[in-house]
Structure 1
Amino acid sequence: MSRIAYVNGAYAPLNAPLISVMDRGLQLADSIYEVWAVRGGRLYDAEAHMARLWRSLDELRIAHPMSEASLWAVMRETMRRNRVRDGIVYVQVSRGAAPRDHVFPSAAVRPTLIVTAKNLDQRAIAARVERGVRVISAPETRWARRDIKSVNLLPNVLARQAAKEAGAFEAWFVDDDGFVTEGTSSSAWIVDAAGSLRTRALSTALLHGVTRAALIGLARERQLAVVEAPFTIADALAAREAFISSASNPAVGVVTIDGRPVGDGKVGPVTRTLNAVYLGA
């Protein structure tokens, strides 16, 4: 079955030419995106992802493309047309098509809305959960407003490619002070020597992870200590466990960093528990 996308009011094959060459998302990365995980036909953390989408639009002063109710309807119809039960829904909104200029268009333009949906390889996800993943470190080279989920992802692309070429799954960005900010598409965590969960506090330096927030809530419900504080690569290598989290990978153990083992080099019990509890929530 060919995949179907929603673009500005039309459902069409994924490769249909429906975007203007003058779209500011294409020309200037003047665009934001959001990703929902779908499991068993259910959108996980649905409202929190929608709230983050609206926040990103508002931070960039991009008009909302439609009402929230209408967007939910489009997302579910896109899921239905693509027969998505276990995968993701991707939503992207740009400021729209206008003559190329760094300043905002002088006349009102219609935002460009794209919605796609696809199933993911659940065996590959299960293998990551079971065996864990390798991570490398990379210097922080991104812009200063990482709290906005912008499509300006070239530094992430380069770091993730470096990870792949090193035989790793993810790269952790490290800032000028030596602290880990986050991964290219995930939040970064450790379970420190005291048994506390540690992940960097929210700021403009990192994306406000929806799955991150859900895991913190679940951990605190189970009386696990959570410390929102930065950590270094050395801290991570000395930790009991490390893991990443994202919409499609809720809690996946990190077994090596830069080729060196974390703990005993296996997925730890806290990581496994959080993953199981999140998926069962």
Structure 2
Amino acid sequence: MGIGYINGKFTNLDELVLPIDERGHQFGDGVYEVIRVYNGTPFMLDEHLDRLINSSKAIKLPITQTVEDFKNLILEAVDKSQLMDCNVYMQITRGIVTRNHLFPTVPVSITMTVRPAKLISQTTREKGETAIFHEDERWANCYIKSLNLLPNILAKQTAFEAGCYEAILVRDGYVTEASSSNVFIIKDGKVFTTPLSKQILPGITRMAVKNATNLLNIDFIDKNFTPEELLEADEVFVTSTTSEVLPIVKVDGKLIGTGKPGEVTNRIYQQFLKLI
């Protein structure tokens, strides 16, 4: 069950609505957000929408809607879906117009879906997940949450074919992030993660984890680290809207710490649940 939306109209998810001259379809010319809804309430909605606006500005997308407009639209969609625990996917593109590389003078196109949340099982959380290292082949502006995700998809597929959950990306000898999540290591009770820059997405769950560590009096340190330092960490976890806080217990076939989810990661996850 779920619901769709395109440019002012709510639709069924199986209804054919995408125009062939949509610039998101033809160029990947747009941005998006994924928002988790818990018990009918979108989590960190303001932060998600701020990032959406910032991404739009970064690609010179001429949106006229305000954060409040988007908030009302999302709440209406969640209400119409009748789903209490769901994922909202919102996409904004440069519009519907005959294919041409130059910016058109047409309204932006807004589409959205609301679907039931896919939960990670408690068994998986208790066991932890695995990952591989993969070269970061993405463009220079990964802070923009754009529709151009082909390098991420290829890395994620490579991880899947290796029997792993994630691909941890490495650029110039340092970990940046993963194919669809931010990466954290824990050493001597301290949390380390890649500093915010154009090379990584400013994750909303990353922000929530920083809040959680502050509440727990755990040091949260923005610091670049190498794959070797990651393998020598006591614990590793990744974060995203859909993964939440997920332990990684093996990378490239090598166990992290004891090979089981660690105590600090679990404390952070439990505090994250309280924030929800």
Q: Matches of 1:121 and 1:150 in 2, distance apart?
A: 23
Other-structure match for 1:109: 106
1:233 to partner: Cα distance: 1.6
Other-structure match for 1:195: 189
Other-structure match for 1:235: 229
Other-structure match for 2:148: 152
Confirm or deny that 1:119 pairs with 2:119: no
Q: Any runs of at least 4 consecutive aligned residues in structure 1 with deviations exceeding 4 A, and if so which?
A: none
Other-structure match for 1:129: 125
1:254 is paired with a residue of what secondary structure?
Answer: strand
Going from structure 1 to structure 2, the CA distance change for 1:34 and 1:125 (only over 3 Å counts) comes to farther
Q: Matches of 1:48 and 1:42 in 2, distance apart?
A: 14
Query: Contact 1:6–1:74 at 8 Å: present in 2 too?
Result: no
Other-structure match for 1:179: 174
Other-structure match for 1:265: 259
Cα deviations by residue, 1:26-74 (Å, 9 ceiling, x for unpaired): 1111010001111111211111111000100111111225333232222
* Aligned residue runs from structure 1 range 219-234, under 5 A: 219-234=213-228
Identity of aligned residues (%): 33
RMSD (Å) for aligned C-alpha atoms: 1.4
Q: Matches of 1:201 and 1:239 in 2, distance apart?
A: 18
Q: Matches of 1:33 and 1:126 in 2, distance apart?
A: 29
Structure 2's unaligned 5+ residue stretches are none
1:220 to partner: Cα distance: 2.2
Other-structure match for 1:55: 54
Q: How many residues align?
A: 275
Q: Matches of 1:46 and 1:142 in 2, distance apart?
A: 27
Other-structure match for 1:167: 163
1:195 to partner: Cα distance: 2.2
Other-structure match for 1:251: 245
1:186 aligned partner, one-letter code = S
* Aligned residue runs from structure 1 range 37-48, under 5 A: 37-48=36-47
